[in-house]
């Protein structure tokens, strides 16, 4: 009898349930005597021992369901270990105690960057761990794709598509501010797919003069509207020279709710052109996974079970060149996969006239 624990941690996204289903169905198929324990609300459930033994029926009908049937929560990595004064509860020891109490043979953990740092910490402390990469940001190192990304691209692209008609009708500049934290993958792909005229991402600091020039050039060509796909973490060239501390202080002094509204005001002052801002926000993370994410989640879930079968723990299941591969957690933890300024997709976008503000 094998006992396997499951948990989903960090922000939710499309494909989490499909991945859980992939793990469970592969376990029941290849190791039918396995017991599966689902932990509630991410690492918090592992810390407190809040779990339930799951049955095959719990995984039925969830392939197309958004969110996560296990619930999730954010547990910052810095809160997982004791401080220098040795104060506070030892959450790592609490998780290990739960693991031992239930007699688990392994944990399958689904999450993004912070989740993988904690998973690696558990690995270092003797827990058998296999992880799956999820995030709409697509910024987990060691895998070409994370599940949730393609679904978010589909939603963001749909937003840009619909903005086009009202932008044309009113001859306006529209800014669509998309998620992604410090990575520009979502904005880059949705911007290209949606036909944005300007794409601004964190990895390529922008100059306002370049964006203004693009808008004016389009007007000179008889194109009286412009679409700007803007990543929430985008920064201008002057901000790129600041330390993180100074940049944070600068942003805190601003009265704008987000960078999209600041850019709209700057463009209005510089060009006199009316701008409108659309922020789809968490809408990008919600709803059912697209077919591509359902396939990817299932492949990664089944890949996790293969690693368990082989006793190959301490790995994330990644996809590289369309092949499912194990990626050592110590290489994944603490690293971000960011867009390189010379990435092929950036070069492709520039070759068709998209401005990156540089």
Can you spell out the DSSP letters for 167-206?
HHHHT-EEEEEE--TT--HHHHHHHHHTT-SEEE-TTS-B
- Examine the domain organization and report whether 185 and 235 are in the same domain: yes
Alpha-carbon distance values, 301 to 36, 110, 227, 269, 355 (Å): 14, 10, 38, 51, 39
Q: How far apart are alpha carbons 331 and 329 in whole angstroms?
A: 5
Q: How far apart are alpha carbons 346 and 351 in whole angstroms?
A: 9
Token pair for 73: 């929560």
- Examine the domain organization and report whether 116 and 158 are in the same domain: no
- Examine the domain organization and report whether 17 and 80 are in the same domain: yes
- How do 35-39 and 51-54 pair as beta strands? antiparallel
Alpha-carbon distance values, 334 to 115, 119, 154 (Å): 10, 11, 28
Q: How far apart are alpha carbons 2 and 207 in whole angstroms?
A: 57
Number of domains in the chain: 2
Whether the per-residue pLDDT at 89 is higher than 90: the answer is no
Per-residue pLDDT tens over the stretch 17-74: 999 999 999 999 999 999 999 999 999 999 999 999 999 999 999 999 999 999 998 7
- Examine the domain organization and report whether 183 and 220 are in the same domain: yes
Mean pLDDT across 274-289: 94
Residue 340 lies in a domain: no
Tell me how far apart the 2 most distant CA atoms of the chain are, in Å. 72
Q: What's residue 245's pLDDT?
A: 86
Mean pLDDT across 288-297: 98
Per-residue pLDDT tens over the stretch 213-259: 999 999 999 999 999 999 999 999 988 888 888 888 888 888 899 99
Which residues constitute the domain of residue 46? Answer: 3-148+289-332
Q: How far apart are alpha carbons 38 and 104 in whole angstroms?
A: 12
Q: What's residue 250's pLDDT?
A: 82
Q: What's residue 82's pLDDT?
A: 58
- Examine the domain organization and report whether 158 and 278 are in the same domain: yes
- Backbone torsion region of residue 73, taken as left when φ is above 0, otherwise alpha when ψ lies between -120 and 50, otherwise beta: beta
Residue 265 lies in a domain: yes
Q: What's residue 84's pLDDT?
A: 46
- Examine the domain organization and report whether 126 and 155 are in the same domain: no
The mean predicted confidence, pLDDT, of the chain is: 94
Q: What's residue 314's pLDDT?
A: 97
Q: How far apart are alpha carbons 5 and 27 in whole angstroms?
A: 12
**Spatial CA neighbour of 44 closest among 7, 93, 4, 69:** 7
CB atoms within 10 A of CB 112: 22
Among 250, 285, 320, which residue terminates a domain? 285
Tell me the CATH number at 129.
Answer: 3.40.50.450
Tell me the CATH number at 212.
Answer: 3.40.50.460
- Examine the domain organization and report whether 175 and 262 are in the same domain: yes
Q: How far apart are alpha carbons 215 and 106 in whole angstroms?
A: 55
Residue 155 lies in a domain: yes
Per-residue pLDDT tens over the stretch 256-275: 999 999 999 999 999 998 89
Q: Which residues are catalytic?
A: 137
- Examine the domain organization and report whether 278 and 155 are in the same domain: yes
Residue 358 lies in a domain: no
- Examine the domain organization and report whether 112 and 249 are in the same domain: no
- Backbone torsion region of residue 275, taken as left when φ is above 0, otherwise alpha when ψ lies between -120 and 50, otherwise beta: beta
Residue 343 lies in a domain: no
Residue 338 lies in a domain: no
Q: What's residue 299's pLDDT?
A: 98
Q: How confident is the model at residue 357 (pLDDT cuts 50, 70, 90)?
A: very high
Q: What's residue 74's pLDDT?
A: 78
Q: What's residue 85's pLDDT?
A: 46
| Residues sharing a CB contact under 8 Å with residue 174, sequence separation 6 or more, in sequence order | 163, 166, 167, 225, 226, 227, 228, 275, 276, 277, 278
Cβ atoms of residues 261 and 268 within 8 Å: no
68: three-class secondary structure by DSSP = coil
Mean pLDDT across 276-300: 96
- Examine the domain organization and report whether 188 and 258 are in the same domain: yes
- Examine the domain organization and report whether 85 and 195 are in the same domain: no
- Examine the domain organization and report whether 133 and 77 are in the same domain: yes
Residue 275 lies in a domain: yes
Residue 337 lies in a domain: no
């Amino acid at each position: 009898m094998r006992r396997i624990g499951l948990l989903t941690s960090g922000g939710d996204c499309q494909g989490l349930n499909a991945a859980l289903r992939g793990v469970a169905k592969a376990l029941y198929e290849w190791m039918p005597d396995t017991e599966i324990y689902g932990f509630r609300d991410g690492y918090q459930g592992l810390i407190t021992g809040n779990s339930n033994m799951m049955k095959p029926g719990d995984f039925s009908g969830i392939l197309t369901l958004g969110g996560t049937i296990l619930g999730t929560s954010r547990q910052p990595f810095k809160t997982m270990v004791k401080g220098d004064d040795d104060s506070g509860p030892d959450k790592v020891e609490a998780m290990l105690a739960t693991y031992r109490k239930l007699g688990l043979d392994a944990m399958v953990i689904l999450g993004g960057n912070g989740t993988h740092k904690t998973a690696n910490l558990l690995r270092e402390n003797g827990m058998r761990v296999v992880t799956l990469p999820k995030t709409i940001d697509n910024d987990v190192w060691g895998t070409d794709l994370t599940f949730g990304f393609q679904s978010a691209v589909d939603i963001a692209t749909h937003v840009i598509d619909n903005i086009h008609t009202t932008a044309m009708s009113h001859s306006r500049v529209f800014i669509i501010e998309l998620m992604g934290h410090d990575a520009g993958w979502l904005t880059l792909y949705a911007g290209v797919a949606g036909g944005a005229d300007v794409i601004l991402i964190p990895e390529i600091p922008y100059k306002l003069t370049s964006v203004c020039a693009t808008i004016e050039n389009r007007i000179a060509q008889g194109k009286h509207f412009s679409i700007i796909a803007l990543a929430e973490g985008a920064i201008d060239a002057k901000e790129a020279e600041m330390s993180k501390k100074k940049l944070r202080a600068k942003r805190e002094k601003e009265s704008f709710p987000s960078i999209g509204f600041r850019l709209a005001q700057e463009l209005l002052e510089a060009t006199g052109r009316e701008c409108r801002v659309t922020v789809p926000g968490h809408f990008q993370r919600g709803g059912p996974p697209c077919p591509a994410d359902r396939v990817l989640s299932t492949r990664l879930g089944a890949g996790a079970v293969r690693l368990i079968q082989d006793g190959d723990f301490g790995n994330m299941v990644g996809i590289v060149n369309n092949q499912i591969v194990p990626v050592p957690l110590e290489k994944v933890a603490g690293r971000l996969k960011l867009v390189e300024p010379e990435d092929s997709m950036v070069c492709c976008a520039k070759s068709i006239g998209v401005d990156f503000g540089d």
